[in-house]
């Protein structure tokens, strides 16, 4: 149980602002309604992990139309789920999403646990998502701390400790300003504030409802908070990808290993990605190498993928597991962005050859 402290003014000011200016988002119940659907709250929170609202909206719409309930999602085929997630990134989320739906359907009768502890035990639900679902879907006074809340709280209290070491301090401060009632609205209001007013760069302090509560506002540079440690430089890697097209308009696609980078996703056959990758093609054939490699930036390295193209007769197949995929349906293959771009480059080249 939280003790009502000296910071209740902050929650009051923020909720008053939220009642007037809350963003209308597809996963939010309409104003005045308290009918937040735990399935939709959970799905949106998983999609929003490290991902912008603008990127999530079309995926959320597509998923809820195709799979309206957690039981429906639990019945999805792995390949269909992964293909539907393609392009959104962090594909472990999609694998855990399906695992979580199946646990909820099989072990909880299709009803999400309502407590942080119960939610935290499910695949893909960490401290943040457990607190967010408990607060937003079930009205519990959970302390919800995401990157927005970290930034807002670091500024409200002008916390000088650099991230990530400041996490415990920030979490304690967040707990002190979280209200006993309307904790879900409070959490969403903090995130709205962080996304639209208390932004990482050039915060709009002039229209901020918490301006008079904010210690950073009284400093010369509010945007200097939160303090962050310098990041390590991102290494660069090289790789090779092979576009194997058959005379009847199909391309050879493989599925990547279940774990690791782009785990479980359809892909072009490719080499390892390293400073000096093995460039041996998967089969002996006449290869054309595209002049411009596909440049792609992952979180922890950047990549130049050199794309090689060949055309095979009908009676030749590459070694190993894979599938011939019709070229006119390449958009439905669910290729992650790197391979979608490689496919676009290869098909453009093939058209020029024809």
Euclidean distance between CA atoms 196 and 59, whole angstroms: 22
* Count of positions (residues) in the chain: 354
Tell me if residue 150 is catalytic. no
By the rule CB under 7 A, 207 interacts with DNA: no
By the rule CB under 7 A, 62 interacts with DNA: no
- Give the β-pairing of 236-246 and 302-312: parallel
Taking CB under 7 A as the binding criterion, the range among 75-83, 109-117, 120-128, 279-287 that sits at the site for DNA is 120-128
* Dihedral over alpha carbons 71, 77, 82, 83 (to 10 degrees): -110
- According to CB under 7 A, which one of 6, 33, 34, 52 is a site residue for DNA? 52
Residue linked to tokens 């962080």? 194
By the rule CB under 7 A, 300 interacts with DNA: yes
By the rule CB under 7 A, 26 interacts with DNA: no
By the rule CB under 7 A, 257 interacts with DNA: no
By the rule CB under 7 A, 24 interacts with DNA: no
From residue 126 to residue 165, what is the string marking binding to DNA with x (rule CB under 7 A)? Answer: xxxxx-x-------------xxx--x------------xx
Full DSSP string of 98-161? HHHHHHHHHHSTT----SHHHHHTSTT--HHHHHHHHHHTT--------HHHHHHHHHHTT--S
CB closer to DNA, 69 vs 96? 96
CB closer to DNA, 239 vs 336? 336
Euclidean distance between CA atoms 134 and 118, whole angstroms: 10
Q: Is the dihedral of CA 318, 323, 324, 325 positive or negative?
A: negative
Tell me, what DSSP letter sits at residue 317?
-
CB closer to DNA, 51 vs 114? 51
CB closer to DNA, 11 vs 48? 48
By the rule CB under 7 A, 191 interacts with DNA: yes
What are the tokens at 154?
């670091």
Q: Which residues bind DNA (CB under 7 A)?
A: 25, 27-28, 44-45, 48-55, 86-92, 96, 123-130, 132, 146-148, 151, 164-165, 167, 188, 191-192, 194-195, 200-202, 228, 231-232, 234, 260-263, 296-300, 336-338
């Amino acid at each position: 149980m939280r003790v009502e402290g000296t910071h209740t003014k902050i929650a009051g000011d923020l909720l008053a602002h939220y009642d007037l200016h809350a963003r209308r988002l597809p996963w939010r119940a309409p104003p005045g309604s308290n009918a937040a659907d735990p399935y939709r709250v959970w799905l949106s929170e998983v999609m929003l992990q490290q991902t912008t609202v603008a990127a999530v909206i079309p995926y959320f719409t597509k998923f809820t139309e195709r799979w309206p309930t957690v039981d429906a999602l639990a019945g999805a085929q792995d390949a269909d789920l992964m293909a539907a997630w393609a392009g959104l990134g962090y594909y472990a989320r999609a694998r855990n999403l399906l695992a979580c739906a199946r646990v909820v359907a099989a072990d909880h009768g299709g009803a999400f646990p309502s407590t942080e502890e119960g939610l935290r035990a499910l695949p893909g639900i960490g401290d943040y998502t457990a607190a967010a679902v408990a607060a937003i879907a079930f009205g519990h006074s959970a302390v919800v701390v995401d990157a927005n809340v970290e930034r807002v709280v670091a500024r409200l209290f002008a916390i000088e400790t650099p991230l990530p070491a400041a996490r415990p301090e920030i979490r304690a401060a967040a707990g002190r300003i979280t209200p006993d009632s309307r904790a879900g609205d409070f959490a969403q209001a903090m995130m709205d504030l962080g996304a639209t007013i208390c932004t990482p760069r050039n915060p709009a302090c002039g229209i901020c409802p918490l301006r008079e509560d904010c210690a950073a506002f009284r400093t010369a540079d509010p945007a200097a908070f939160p303090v962050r440690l310098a990041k390590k430089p991102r290494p660069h890697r090289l790789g090779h990808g092979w576009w194997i097209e058959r005379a009847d308009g199909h391309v050879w696609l493989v599925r990547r290993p279940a774990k690791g980078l782009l785990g479980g996703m359809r892909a072009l056959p490719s080499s390892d990605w390293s400073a000096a990758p093995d460039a041996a093609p998967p089969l002996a054939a006449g290869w054309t190498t595209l002049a411009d490699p596909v440049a792609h930036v992952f979180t922890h390295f950047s990549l130049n993928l050199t794309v090689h193209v060949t055309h095979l007769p009908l009676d030749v197949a590459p070694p190993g597991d894979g599938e011939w995929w019709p070229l006119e349906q390449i958009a439905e293959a669910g290729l992650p962005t790197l391979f979608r771009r490689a496919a676009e480059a290869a098909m453009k080249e093939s058209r020029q050859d024809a």
